[in-house]
Amino acid sequence: MRALKRRDPQTYREIDALFERIEQTPDLGYELHGEWGGCMAVHCGRDRYRVIWKVLDPEEDYTRVADLVVPVVVIAVGPKTDSRGRTIYERPR
């Protein structure tokens, strides 16, 4: 994310804001299949970048603000394709 912040600050801000939206609406985006099964993804930065996350099982809220919280783990943030032409989905998980 630091490299993205230097190269493309607008996309960095878009992705940073997206993290808050994912926390509030974990089923945002589209579901992935195959090796990435159980994960969700969105396109961002003028369709040049992908953000992939996994929604974990609900757990008890230790802060006692709510009964349950739904943890979300961001797995990958990166360009749609790398220098070899492989998509982010072809990289090892």
Residue 66: DSSP 8-state? S
In the chain, the number of structural domains is 1
Percent of the chain residues topping a pLDDT of 70: 100
Element (H, E) at 3: helix 2-7
For the four alpha carbons of 45, 47, 53 and 54, in that order, the dihedral sign comes to: positive
pTM beyond 0.75, yes or no: yes
Residue 58 lies in domain: 2-90
% of the chain with per-residue pLDDT over 90: 40
pLDDT value of position 4 = 86
pLDDT band at 31 (very low <50, low <70, confident <90, very high): very high
Question: What is the tens place of the pLDDT at every residue in 43-57?
Answer: 999 999 999 999 888
Q: Please tell me the distance from the alpha carbon of residue 31 to that of residue 52, in angstroms, as a whole number.
A: 10
